[in-house]
Structures are given as structure tokens and as C-alpha cells.
Homo-oligomer: A and B are copies of this chain.
Amino acid sequence: MINLTILGCHSATPRANAFPTAQYLEINNKHFLIDCGEGTQRQMRKYKVGFSKINHIFISHLHGDHYYGLVGLLSTYGMLSREKEMHIYGPKGIQKATMQMLKISESHAKFNMVFHELTSKESELIYEDDKVTVTTIPLNHRVYTNGYLFKEKEKPRKLNMLNISGYPEIDKADYLNIKAGRDITLTSGEVVPNKSLTLDPPKPLSYAFCSDTSYKPDIVPIIKDVDLLYHESTFLADRQDLAKKTKHSTSIEAAKIAKDASAKELILGHFSGRYPDTTVFQKEAKTVFDNVSLAKPGAKFTLK
């Protein structure tokens, strides 16, 4: 299952009702924070994100609107007497700047901060546990930037109890073998194929976070068939010139990426403050790709 909560989704400077990028992702019962603009911890409180569940933070790039909330959040974790390790993934340099700011405030945390500094321009697997993998999506912005692809791992096949009950000879002791994908040979010599004893597991779900970036079609193979795609769309097509200059995308470009990757659903975000009504982004993207949603603070996206 995927549960994505948008904490902030506007570009550049915070405004009264515009919050810079931050997202809280629950995937296969793992909990991640993606980007951490100024004020993220306040948004986490507002939308009731459990602070203690998060053990991994992924920062796309070191522009303030994606990163300036990190030091305050880590400082708060210190005040909350956190003891668990916190893993922070982000561009090279993130450790030094963050630690200096914490040091000058004499924020003495009991917990260990483990920084994983990224430098590769190729997509790489940076996180793996029993349930989830996280892979970088190299993006093209004014500074070194990665998107992140979160994928559920293939789940084991489930026992088809109805079919199994048709073979009284098959015992509980066999279940482990069946779950592991093995066929069962009966005493008669008959081989019961695994497929008839098991059900297909739910298809693993995936979520791709792509911000900030200019239009970069070579990410399509990395995110191919993704279930949920967040792609920045700072501008509409009317400001293609500005998008190119600032290395951002338009809603049309985001929709093209979604279409070419055969994504199931596209979420647009990172809207420029010049567009007070964000529904125009959706309208424009829908001319290219049908299933488009808009990010807004507090919005939740659930896939089962």
C-alpha cells in the first residue's frame, strides 16, 4: 500500500498559504520524508505525521525550498529525545552545512545522524530493506538533483486454501515449500504445479518523486510503469522560455513524461507563485495525459 501526504508543494519562497516542497510517504509500512523546505515540521504537526516513524529522509537538492527545514527538524528530534538513528540521503555537502548549523545552536542530539551523500549522475539503488527499495532518478536542475523511485518488493505468493483443500494429502508442513514457489509431488507421483496451489500476490506498487528538473525524457525508462508519479510543473506552457532558463518543467512536459512512462497517475506540484489558480496546470496537462491530480498541502494519495 502507498499513502502519500503532501506537506508543501509550492516553489521558491514560502507565503501565507504556500509551503515549500515536503512529502510524507508510507509504502509497504515503511515511512519516509521526501524533501524538507522551511516549515516542514510545522506542516508535519498540522497533518499529524508521526515523527517517530520516520527513520529515512531523502533530499532532492540543496535549494532552500527543498532543504532549509531539515536542520530545524533534526533539532526538534533532539528535543524529543530521539535515540534511533536517522538516515539522511542528499547531495554532497549536506552533512557539513547541516552539522555546522546544529553545532552553532548547541543542539545536542542523543541520536546518530547518518548522512548518505550522493554524487552519481547515474541512477543507483541507495536503499533496500525487506519491503522496499529506493533508487535515484538523476534530474537536470541548476544544482545537482535527484528524484527518488520508491518500490515495494515483490511479495510472496499466497496460499490458495480452496485448491489446497482439494488435496487432503497436502499438509501444513508443505506450506513453506508452496509459498517458496515449489510444486508438490503427491505419493501417487502426480505433480501439482505451484500455480494451482497459490494465488498471485498483489502487484508491487511504486512511487516516483521528480523535482526539480527541466524536461528530461531519459528518466522515462527508470520510472516506466510507475503507479504514482509526482512531477514538478513550475510553469505553464506559456512560460516555456522561463522553464528552460531556470531548468524547471511545464505542465505539458510533466504530462509527456507521465504518458511516455505509462504512469497510472500523475500529481503536479512546485507551482510558481505567478499562478494564483493552480487548476490551470491540471487543465493543460490533461491535453496530454488523462489521470492528473494537483498537489496541495494536506492532500493524500492512497494506492492499494
A interface residues (Cβ-Cβ under 8 A, vs B): 12-16, 19, 38-39, 41-42, 45-46, 62-64, 67-69, 71-72, 75-76, 79-80, 93-94, 96-97, 100-101, 104-107, 142-143
A29 to chain B, nearest CB (A): 26
Bound complex: CA A62 to CA B42 (Å) = 20
Contact present for B106 and A12 (CB under 8 Å): no
What are 19 A-B pairs with beta-carbon distances under 8 A?
A: A13-B80, A14-B42, A14-B76, A15-B45, A16-B42, A16-B45, A62-B105, A63-B105, A63-B106, A64-B72, A64-B76, A64-B107, A67-B105, A68-B68, A68-B72, A96-B104, A100-B100, A101-B101, A105-B143
Bound complex: CA A243 to CA B151 (Å) = 48
Q: Which residues of B contact A93 (CB under 8 A)?
A: 104
Contact present for B143 and A62 (CB under 8 Å): no
Bound complex: CA A187 to CA B224 (Å) = 99
Bound complex: CA A162 to CA B177 (Å) = 108
A44 to chain B, nearest CB (A): 9
A298 to chain B, nearest CB (A): 11
Q: Which residues of B contact A80 (CB under 8 A)?
A: 13
Contact present for B106 and A101 (CB under 8 Å): no
